[in-house]
Amino acid sequence: MLLHFLTLAPFIAALLMVAASGRDSKSAFRLAVVFGSIFAAASIGLLLRGASITEPMEWFFVPGANITVYYALASHGFSMWLVFVSCLVSLAALVAGRDSFEGNYRNFAIGVFALLGAMNGMFLAADAVLFFFFFEAMVFPAAMLIASYGGAERKKAAIRFAIYTLVGSAPLLMGLWYLMTLAESSAPFELITIMLSLPESTRNLLLVCFALAFLVKSPIFPFHGWQAKTYAEAPAPVSAILTGAMSKAGIYGFLFWGLPLLSSDSLTSIFIWLGLITAVYGALMALRATDAKNLLAFSSMGHLGLAMAGLFVLSETSTPAVLVLLVAHALSASALFILIGAAERFAGSRDLGKMGGFVKSSPVFGFLFGFAGIVAVAVPGTAGFVGEFLVLLSLWNAGPLPALIAGICIVLSAAYMLRLIAAVIFGKPAAVRGETKISAAEVIAVLPMLLLAIYFGVRPAPIIDALAYRESPESVFEETDSAADEAEENENVQ
């Protein structure tokens, strides 16, 4: 029941928000925060409950292919934490958006809930068609939010984002369709079984099809052309969702669809080096960025590249390491995007050269921004430190050189983050165009995420132990598939 609630209830909340007054933003805000808080609490309940599956329900039959598509959901250690991150970051965006979307807050909340439902559905889907449906469904509410509430070039950014992600997903659809016709099923375990029985050349071709979609969605170099512009032009609360939750879809896709297709160590090395190249590129671009949101966009890109490199080490420690890194990145990056939105409001610009001295004009903002920056630097005692340290240990298994490059990227990330802190809150006071007072809503939005980053830095066991259950994600899917087969047999008997 909880899995159905987390997947379907956000869409129902979006519909209920239509009934809210479009003119009374305060009532719409209260209703949205109530819904968002319920979803965040439900995601915590999912973490406490542990791995679970739902009884599969027949969705539709594909004529001519002998494939029955089921609406089936399953949770496991990785997906549970990503659902928690999605709900928490979405709630933070809803709270932080109170003052930014006073004229049309209701429609903003509708878009956020639609995006949350798609993200949760993708992370919890236990059917290949259902996974692809939600994987694509994320694009439309995100693009509408960017086009409706973004900066001066918001429409171009939204179109670029939609084209990149939709075109990148086309090979994934073809690959899934090919596997489903072979297996005569859309159940993940049966598809993975078919994958393992295919010739190496076929598996390599399918891996390319799957990888294109996941590389674009993350994004990973050189498929990152949409990211910086999109993050920069999107409103700060939407950028927080994109970097904190939606960007994790690519890594998740690789974990449960890409890894079974690997047929040789050379392919594993390719993805490790792609991740490392992305980490280096992101760090260097962030170092030279003059647009604050571009800097954060390239920073996010670098961290996701590091996560992908760690994932493809394929050791016992790599998956927990990547999960801790993803949760830590979601907490710090989302908080920074919300805070940089406040800085942009103060200065009337995203240009770092036009910011500065905000610690004097707004001490609360200065403290929070400095706090978030230090958390993002991943100093000891933060979740980022634990995640990066564990990923470095995992990469050492791939060789000293990958670990050395990853270490250099971590040093560079400290350099550009300290540069960002200095440019925004220290130095000569900027020519302020607006009120230099951070709103209470923005404080409430970012503070819990920063405190959680400290808590998980001191005690990362809740994240790591979530992957220490006896059953693997594939076995959870296997139970779902067996239940689907049993349901189909019962229908045939009847």
pLDDT digits (tens, 9 = 90+) for 182-208: 888 888 888 888 888 888 888 888 888
pLDDT bucket at 383, cuts 50 / 70 / 90? very high
- What is the sign of the dihedral through the CA atoms of 419, 422, 425 and 427? negative
Most confident of the ranges 16-20, 50-54, 66-70, 248-252: 248-252
Give the per-residue pLDDT at 21: 65
> Above 50 in pLDDT, residue 490?
no
Give the per-residue pLDDT at 470: 38
- 3-state SS of the chain? CHHHHHHHHHHHHHHHHHCCCCCCHHHHHHHHHHHHHHHHHHHHHHHHHCCEECCCEEEEEECCCCEEEEECEEECHHHHHHHHHHHHHHHHHHHHCCCCCCCCHHHHHHHHHHHHHHHHHHHHECCHHHHHHHHHHCHHHHHHHHHHHCCCCHHHHHHHHHHHHHHHHHHHHHHHHHHHHHHCCCCHHHHHHHHHHCCHHHHHHHHHHHHHHHHHHCCCCCCCCCHHHHHHHCCHHHHHHHHHHHCHHHHHHHHHHHHHHCCCHHHHHHHHHHHHHHHHHHHHHHHHCCEHHHHHHHHHHHHHHHHHHHHCCCCCCHHHHHHHHHHHHHHHHHHHHHHHHHHHHHHCCCEHHHCCCHHHHCHHHHHHHHHHHHHHHCCCCCHHHHHHHHHHHHHHCCCHHHHHHHHHHHHHHHHHHHHHHHHHHCCCCCCCCCCCCCCHHHHHHHHHHHHHHHHHHHCCHHHHHHHCCCCCHHHHHHHHHHHHHHHHHHHHHC
Give the per-residue pLDDT at 345: 86
Token pair, residue 14, equals: 């979006």
> Above 70 in pLDDT, residue 489?
no
Residue carrying structure tokens 């493809």: 312
- What is the sign of the dihedral through the CA atoms of 480, 481, 486 and 489? positive
As a whole number of angstroms, the distance between CA 456 and CA 387 comes to 10
Token pair, residue 164, equals: 């990149």
Residue carrying structure tokens 């979307």: 101
Q: What angle do CA 18, 4, 147 make, to 5 degrees?
A: 40
Residues facing residue 70 across a β-bridge: 58
Give the per-residue pLDDT at 59: 82
- Report the percentage of the chain scoring pLDDT > 90: 46
pLDDT bucket at 358, cuts 50 / 70 / 90? confident
Give the per-residue pLDDT at 15: 92
Least trusted range by pLDDT, from 235-249, 354-368, 391-405, 467-481: 467-481
What is the pTM (predicted TM-score) of this model?
0.90
Amino acid at residue number 18: V
How many Å from the N-terminal Cα to the C-terminal Cα in the chain?
Answer: 27
Residues facing residue 68 across a β-bridge: 61
Mean pLDDT for 211-221 is 90
Q: What angle do CA 206, 208, 214 make, to 5 degrees?
A: 110
Token pair, residue 267, equals: 């392919």
- What is the sign of the dihedral through the CA atoms of 94, 367, 283 and 149? positive
Give the per-residue pLDDT at 333: 93
Residues facing residue 73 across a β-bridge: 125
**Residues 149-159: tens digit of each pLDDT:** 888 888 998 99
As a whole number of angstroms, the distance between CA 273 and CA 285 comes to 18
Computed over every residue of the chain, the mean pLDDT equals: 86
Mean pLDDT for 432-436 is 64
pLDDT bucket at 482, cuts 50 / 70 / 90? low
Give the per-residue pLDDT at 64: 66
Amino acid at residue number 287: L
Residues facing residue 69 across a β-bridge: 60
pLDDT bucket at 491, cuts 50 / 70 / 90? very low
